[in-house]
Each structure stands twice: as C-alpha cells, then as structure tokens.
Amino acid sequence: MLGIHILLAVGIAAFANALDPMGIVGAFVLVYLVLKLGARLIRTGSYLKRLELGIGFVAWFAAEIVKASLDVARIVVASKVTPSPAVITMRLEDKREGVATLIGLLLTLTPGTMALDYDPDSGEMAIHALNATSVEEVERGIRELERRLLDWMHPERLAAAEADEVA
C-alpha cells in the first residue's frame, strides 16, 4: 500500500508540474487525506494507522537522537560533568530476534548507548550507557523505545491496550 501511496503522490506531483521534494511531500499529504476520508469505503484504516504510528515514531526517535547528542556533547565539553558508564542487562518484552535486532540498531544509533549482546533464549539484552546515573531512567527510556516500536509494528496491540483502558 505504501508503494501505491508513493506512486500516486509522485504522479500527482508530476501532473501538477511540482516534481520537487516539497511537491512530492504535498502530494503525499493530499493522497493521505483522500485515503483518510475514504478509509471505510476502500478499507485503508489499518494502513493509515500504521503510517501515522510510523511517522510518529520517526519524529519521536529524531527528537531522542537530538536530546542524546546534546547530552553527550555536554559530557564531552563540560569539564565538571563526570560520566557514569554502565552495562545494563534487561529482558525485552518481545523475544523475537528480529525485534531485538531493530531495538539494538536503534539503541546503537542513539549517541551514548550501544547494544552489546542479546540472548534469544532468555530475551535479555546487554546495553552500554555512557551516562547511567539512574539505571531505572535508562531502562525506562529503552522500554519507551521498545513500546513505540512494537506499537508501530503491531497496531492491533495498541488497539487492545486502549480497549483495556476503556473497560
């Protein structure tokens, strides 16, 4: 569905003689709005939910990278700040190796953290944190990353959690 969405956006941008990045983004948003309006008619609700979660995840993760970069820069530049490196082992909610690989990649992309090892039998991942003054805070950040990633990968999980909150 994403491929069709992109092709429609590029086609509309080309038709409107706006085949530049902003024209394509504008056409992508236009196609999104049309799909959103006709979601019940053409059954695109699941795709749109996953698209919205994906865009939200990417925006959230980009902000986290900026915050982590500033934290690492503060540690490097400020002479009074002493880092508290630590290796933390925590059990992941989803033990599948593919999910663990994604989490490990995202952690390693974030300045100040690195995935070191994963044991698929126990579901535990070893993570190095440059500044782990509070182990609970580091674990909370990793849990938030895992929760957002799993919500994006499995939107039905999010719907079930929302239904449990209402009930």
For 106-157, write each residue's pLDDT tens digit: 999 999 899 999 999 999 999 999 888 888 888 999 999 999 999 998 877 6
- Dist CA 119 CA 103 (whole Å): 13
Taking alpha carbons only, the member of 89, 148, 151, 93 closest to residue 124 is 89
Residue 18 and residue 27 in contact, taking contact as beta carbons nearer than 8 Å? yes
Res 60: pLDDT: 95
Shortest CA distance to 111 belongs to which of 96, 130, 124?
130
**Is residue 31 within 8 Å of 12, Cβ to Cβ?**
yes
For residue 88, count other CB atoms closer than 10 A to its CB: 16
Per-residue model confidence (pLDDT) at position 131: 85
Residue 43 clears pLDDT 70, i.e. is over it? yes
**What's the mean pLDDT when you consider all of the chain?**
87
Q: With beta carbons less than 8 A apart as the criterion, state whether 146 and 95 touch.
A: no
Degrees to nearest 5, angle at CA 85 with 83 and 86 = 155
Distance CA 140, CA 153 (A): 20
pTM of the model: 0.81
Measuring CA to CA, which residue among 120, 55, 74 is closest to residue 94? Answer: 120
